[in-house]
Amino acid sequence: MTNSQKAILSFLFVLACSLIVLVSWLWQGTWQKPLGPALQISTVTPFQLPPTWTPNPDVKVPPPATSSSVSVLSASPTPISTISLIGMCGAPPIMNILVVGSDARADSYNYGLADMIRIVRVDFVNPKVTILEFPRDLWVEIPDIADNLNGQDHEKLNQAYLYGNRGFGYTDDPTQGPGLLARTMILNFGTHIDHYAAVNMRTFVKIVNAVDGIDVTLPEAVDGRTAEDTNNRLLFRAGTLHLDGERALTLARIRIEGSFARADNQNRVLCALRDKISSPSVITKIPSLITSFQYAVQTDLSPAQLGQLACIGTRIQPGNIIFASFPQEHFRQSRVFDPVFKKDVFAWDVDYEILREYVRQFNAGTWPPLSGAPEDEKEIPFCP
C-alpha cells in the first residue's frame, strides 16, 4: 500500500469517526458539552514539599534534553514555531490530558487505585504528542484527605485517585478521583492539566476486544510467573504477539521486573492500541468501540474536543509521538512509615526539585527533544 493510499484511508477513517460521533451527539445538542464535570484546579498552590523530603545542596538538576530515559519513535524533528491563539483543528495551541488506568475490575468507578498515570501533551500548532509517565509510588501531599485520616495528608500518588472517587469520597470535588489526582500532581510537581480521562480494567478489556485485539511487539520475553502463580498466562514470548483484552491487560500489569519495566510494557500496549484504532480495518468496528466507551469512562472531554484529537491524529508523523519517563538514575528504593496502614510501605526516594525541573520543561515543550540524544542513549521504540 502506497503512502498516498494510507493517507487517504486514514482520512476516511477519521471522517467516519467524526460522522458517527456527530450523529450520536448533535441530536442531543451536547456537541460542546463535556462528558463529565470540569476540573476544579484554581485553588491549588504548587510545590508543597513532602515532610520526608530533604533538599540536597550537592545535587544539580541535569539538562533533561539528553536524558537516556526518553524513547523517541523516530529522529525527524518538528520545528518550533510561534504559538498562535488557535491551533489546528480549531483546538487550543496545547491540550494537556491526565490519563489514568484504574486497577478496578468493576463497571463502576467507586474504588480502584491509579495503576497507570500519564500526562499526554498534545501540540496543535506543531503536531506532536508527548506522553510522560508518573511512577505511582511517589510519596506526595494529597489535598482534602487530612480530615478523614486523622490529620494525615501524605500518601502514595496512586491513592489520590482512590480517595477521590465515590467509595471513599474524601473530597467535594465533582470530578472525584481524576480531579483529586490532578490537583495532587499540580500541588507536588507543577503539572499543567486541562482535561482528564480515566479507564478501569473492564472497560480497557472491552475496548481491546471491540477492535479484535492488538499486536504488541516485545524486544524480549516478559515472564510474570511467580512461585505462587506459575500459570502460563503470565508468560509473553519475545516478538510480535496478537493479544485479546485480557492478555493485553495482563501484560500491562506485570510488575515482576520493576515499575519502570512495567511502564515500558504499558507504553507498548498503548502504542499497539493506537495503531489498531487508526487502521482501516477498524472502520467497521467503530460502533462497538463507541459502545465500549459509552458511560464507561471518566472524562471531561466534550465530543467536539474528541473530534479535535481525532483531527490532529491525521497530521502527526510517527516521529512526533514520544513516550518519556523520568530517568531511573534519580530513583532509589525506600520505605516510608504510613500512619494509615501503621507500617512501612515502599516509596521512591527522589529529589522532587529534579522532577519539577523535568515537568517544567515538559510543560514548555522543550523536553523530551525529538532528536539530539546520542544513538546509544535511545531505547528501542515502543512502536516499531
Tell me the per-residue pLDDT of 342-356, one tens digit each, with 9 for 90 and over.
999 999 999 999 999
375 pLDDT above the threshold of 60: no
Within the chain, what is the greatest distance between any pair of CA atoms? 64
- Residue 290: which pLDDT band, with cuts at 50, 70 and 90? low
Taking Cα atoms as reference points, which of 79, 301, 47, 53 lies closest to residue 188? 47
Cβ atoms of 98 and 359 closer than 8 Å: no
56: which DSSP letter?
Answer: -
Summarize the confidence of residues 130-146 as an average pLDDT.
Answer: 96
- Inter-CA distances, 46 with 18, 137, 161, Å: 38, 19, 18
In this structure, what are the phi and psi dihedrals at residue 134, rounded to the nearest 5 degrees? -110, 125
Show the cell assigned to 101. 488506568
Asked whether the predicted pLDDT for residue 192 surpasses 50, the reply is yes
CB atoms within 10 A of CB 384: 13
DSSP label at residue 82: P
Residue 46: predicted pLDDT: 58
Asked: is 3-377 a CATH 3.40.630.190 domain? The reply is: yes
Task: Give which of 196, 284, 251 is closest to 382, Cα–Cα.
Answer: 251
- In the predicted model, is pLDDT for residue 80 greater than 50? no
Is the per-residue pLDDT at 376 higher than 50?
no
Burial 55-65 (b: 16+ CB within 10 A, else e): eeeeeeeeebe
Q: Using one digit for the tens of pLDDT, what is the confidence trace for 150-165? A: 999 999 999 999 999 9
* Helices and strands per DSSP (H, E), number in the chain: 9, 15
The pTM score is 0.75
